[in-house]
Amino acid sequence: MFPQDRDAWVKALKTGTTTVGLIARDAVVFATDTRVTAGFFVAHRKGKKVHPLHKHVAITIAGRVADAQSLIDILRANINYYQIMRRDTMPISAVARLAQSLMFNSRYFPYIAQLIIGGIDSEGPRLYTLDPFGSVTEETLIATGSGSPVALGVLEPNYSRDISFDDAVHLAFQAVAASIRRDAGSGDSIDVAYVKRDVGYGELSLEEKAPLYKQYLKYAPV
């Protein structure tokens, strides 16, 4: 695939996914759908799209699953190594820079993945998004994947920088629920994860999500 071949790229970059990430007070909150597609085929209905990279940093993935998983493995190894060499947690900005370098270095044979990297370090909660060629932007709220326009439409008018953790969980869930309703590529169920100050990475249990499903999706996942 040549860099000039725009149509081929547009096709390759088409994802069927919604992931969102947003900064809350002393936390970063993530929500994703769990539908994995291969064209019009639903390949998996409980695919994991948000992963811990370390105790203090998480990543969401959209795009080619194999590429993203491979990136996650390399990032994890490097974050562990950083931690042990310096006896200090790796800043989120450094994690984003590492992912950026990996992706930029293979820009002619790219990792087809849109990433959200977020977590808490000594600077506080931080959120970054990366495209397949390795461009990085810092965000306070962001969505990736085919459902992202719908999700952003929900996120943006309802977000404020000092949003509480509980409100942020609701907002993230609501945004993914909206794109599940209106984006054919997103669906099935919703994962919610967070990195909280002094707590680290965690995910909401099915019980904790039950009232959210009831409120925003009107049905429980199967």
Residue in the block written with tokens 């970063």: 28
Return d(Cα 190, Cα 178) in angstroms, integer: 11
Nearer to other proteins by Cβ, of 8 and 77: the residue is 77
Nearer to other proteins by Cβ, of 25 and 55: the residue is 55
Give SS3 for 100. Answer: helix
Q: How far is the CB of 62 from other proteins (least distance, A)?
A: 22
Nearer to other proteins by Cβ, of 69 and 160: the residue is 69
Q: How far is the CB of 159 from other proteins (least distance, A)?
A: 36
What are the angstrom distances between the C-alpha of 96 and each of 4, 60, 104, 113? Answer: 27, 12, 12, 14
Return d(Cα 25, Cα 35) in angstroms, integer: 29
Return d(Cα 97, Cα 94) in angstroms, integer: 5
Under 8 Å between Cβ of 51 and 58: yes
DSSP state of 136: E
Q: For this structure, is 17 an active site residue?
A: yes
Q: How far is the CB of 135 from other proteins (least distance, A)?
A: 26
Set 17, 18, 60, 89: catalytic member = 17
Q: How far is the CB of 53 from other proteins (least distance, A)?
A: 13
| Chain residues in the site for other proteins (CB under 8 A) | 73-74, 76-78, 80-81, 84-85, 87
Residues tagged active-site: 17
